[in-house]
Structure 1
Amino acid sequence: MRNDNEEESRLAPIDTGEPRTSTPHDAPHPPARRMPFAWFWPILAGAFIALVLRILFSGGPGQRFSPMLGSFVYFVPAVCGAVTVYLAERTERRSWSYYLWAPWVATALFVIGTLAVFIEGIICAIVIVPLFAVMGSVGGLAMGIVCRITHWPRQAVYSFALLPLVLGAIEPGLPNPDQFSHTSRTLFIAAPAERVWHSLNEARDIRPSEVSDMWAYRIGVPLPLSGVTVETPEGRVRQVQWEKNVHFDEIVTEWQPNRLLKWRYRYTPDSFPPGALDDHVMIGGQYFDLRDTSYTLTPREGGTDLRIDVSWRLSTRFNWYADRVLQALLGNGSENILRFYKARSEATATAAVMATGAP
């Protein structure tokens, strides 16, 4: 039984090192015709295999074959890259650079495919693409090495494909590591602390133009509509409304007027209607939770320093990556939130000055 390398050797032209002689019967052979876009088929096949694996990884949080498992996030894009390189090598020897860039294209097509068949949300798709590209290149490079130095590329690609399935059945039985992080930002507001405090507790009728610069909202997180503190039998609660019927409470845990406001988050089963966020990465769920947020007001000459502190929990096999993403998104969000309160507080302070006729 011939293996793949023997088959390639049989088909390759033999060079004896001696000059060739031609005969009157020799005639030039027309070049073999290749399928249109033949270079693209290995990439498309790699993306297709990864899409099939994504369909198989449709389990819910904490279940077998969840798309939030490390066995999916790490190994499925690696399979995508490995299949791409394997099929390309079956046609002709590829360069080392091909082993890196072709899996990038394949994983990008894979992610686009998940969006096209509505099994992935735009938020997760955008966030995960960089990690998928890296893991796709790792798989492509590994397969390229196998194809160059061994006689078992077919067996290797089968092993690549089976690995996420085996691990996807085992991994849910293992505990996820918890990681707790936070971010903070400070901004000077040219308004007295009383005005800033009022803006924090009476954020009504929020316009898209006031917050649309946040990266999180640009990738699909619903825009906020209001955040208002009210008195309830259980104490002070800041009631929050977002677009797409998202709503939740912020339970005030520290209240020092004009000085400090801190809350923890409370969600109900209907806080995030289906489709409002990516359903398998729900805030307050198994993998991610916002813990608390605080605002500290420090009066100074000409206005107030407003500081925001946000903390969260991550519980995934790829906390190292997810935490960097959240640092970027929530850090950017904190900066824009402070600018929102700055604009509102300074506008209110200016209106108050004009109303009193003060110079």
Structure 2
Amino acid sequence: MRRRDNWRFIAIILVALAAALAVYAVAEAGAGGAIGYALMVVLPASLSAFVAWAGSIGRNWSRGAFLSVPLWLALVATAIGAIFLREGIVCLIMVLPFWIAFGYLGIWPVYLYRRSRWMVDPATFRAHALLLLPFLALALDHQMTPPRETRTVVREIIVDAPASAVWPRLLAIPAIAPGEGRWTISQNLLRLPRPVEAHLTGAGPGAVRDAYWQDGIRFQEIVTDWRPGEALEWRFAFPDPSIHERTDRHIEPHGRHLWIDRGGYRLIALAAGQTKIRLWTRYHVATPFNAYAAWWGERILGDIQDNVLAIVAGRTQDAMEGNAR
């Protein structure tokens, strides 16, 4: 009897995973459904409820057994996403809290019902019907237009140098050594690519900065404002899909959910010959979870900006020390 129950539980897990992969496939084939309520909210809640209900039939599950279901499902889904679906680390980490939180929301009514009535007819709760809910949510996702918001990420650094010494280091950054810059969570811990070099073609508005990063990533910054010693601004251009192909295919820089728009430097003169370098990036986000996406944008883009500013500041200081000698 125990062996039969074990095989039944394995079958339940396989059915749940098959349903999840089917929802994922349908979402990927649709227009932007991968970032929506179906995969982020309804799927983890319905899968957790299904496994908790069907798995506990004929078993006196403890509270800990119920509480472990969302965690195990989230970890298994993350492993499958990383190994078989080739999802990027950023996407997996962003989705993981949703799967755990809404997984617990899904098992809560099941746990309350089981606690009050352990001996029930399984037919009173059609567990398999739960697996249809994510497909219904996908249909709603495809009909919804997510709200669009504009966000700006700003970072600053102070250098012991006048703006005239900083300005040339903003225009081009050749041959960035592996040890340059600073340690960041995004680029050191999450292993997002780091900048390798940046070249400038032309001068003034219309000039183009070609930026090259690790893993063959490249993009362009087309200058829109050129004020030597004061400010440099640009709009972003992405001539190839290298960013989202090599980092996360759901985070396309000029896509439906994300549009990285403009950026720039501003040089602010301070007392005692110091200069504050301000680096900003403006982007538009359109998802059902804009506040959550912006929280990650602040940290990931902020880490990238901190690293770039550290490189510029370090090279400026080296130039000042070289001139002093």
TM-score (norm. length: structure 1): 0.78
Counterpart of 1:124 in structure 2: which amino acid? C
CA shift, 1:124, in A, is 1.0
The gaps in structure 1 that reach 5 residues or longer are 1-31, 355-359
Are the aligned partners of 2:184 and 2:307 in contact in 1 as well (CA < 8 Å)? yes
3-state secondary structure, aligned to 1:72: helix
After superposition, the Cα gap between the structure-2 partners of 1:123 and 1:302, relative to the gap in structure 1 and judged at 3 Å, is same
Structure 1 residue corresponding to 2:315, chosen from 310, 332, 344: 344
Q: Which of 102, 114, 134 pairs up with 2:101?
A: 134
Is the alpha carbon distance of 1:186 and 1:233 closer, same or farther for their aligned partners in structure 2, counting shifts above 3 Å?
Answer: closer
Structure with greater contact order relative to length (CA < 8 Å, sep ≥ 6): 2
Q: Deviations over 1:9-51 (max 9, x none)?
A: xxxxxxxxxxxxxxxxxxxxxxx75589889859955555434
| Structure exhibiting the larger radius of gyration computed from Cα positions | 1
**Aligned position for 2:293:** 322
Give deviations 1:294-335, integer Å, cap 9, x for gaps. 211112214211112222111111212211111222223222
* Contact 2:244/2:252, CA 8 A, preserved across alignment: no
String of CA shifts for 1:203-229, please: whole Å, max 9, x gaps.
111223324723333424332222223
The reply to whether residue 353 of structure 1 matches residue 324 of structure 2 is: yes
TM-score (norm 2): 0.86
SS in 2 for 1:348: helix
Aligned length: 319
RMSD: 2.9
Q: 1:238 to 1:153 in 2, by over 3 A?
A: farther
The residue that corresponds to 1:70 in the other structure is 37
Alignment match, 1:210: 180
Match of 1:198 in 2: 168
Whole-Å Cα distance in 1 between the matches of residues 192 and 241 of structure 2?
14
Pair 1:49–1:173, CA change in 2 (3 A): closer
Q: Secondary structure at the match of 2:47?
A: helix
Q: Tell me if the contact between 1:288 and 1:313 (Cα under 8 Å) persists in the aligned partners.
A: yes
Per the alignment, residue 15 of structure 1 pairs with none
Which is richer in helix? 2
Q: Secondary structure at the match of 1:92?
A: coil
Match status 1:253 vs 2:224 = yes
Q: Does 1:117 align with 2:99?
A: no
1:243-265 Cα deviation digits (max 9, x unpaired): 33322211112211111111111
Give, in angstroms, the shift of residue 346 of structure 1: 0.8
CA contact (8 A) 2:57 2:122 kept: no
**Could you say what secondary structure the match of 1:104 adopts?**
helix
Aligned match for 1:230, one of 190, 201, 208: 201
Residue 100 of structure 1 and its aligned partner are, at CA, apart by: 3.3
Map 1:35-54 → 2, pairs under 5 A: 41=10, 44-45=13-14, 46-47=16-17, 49-54=19-24
Give the corresponding residue for 2:235: 264
- What SS class does the counterpart of residue 215 from structure 2 fall into? coil
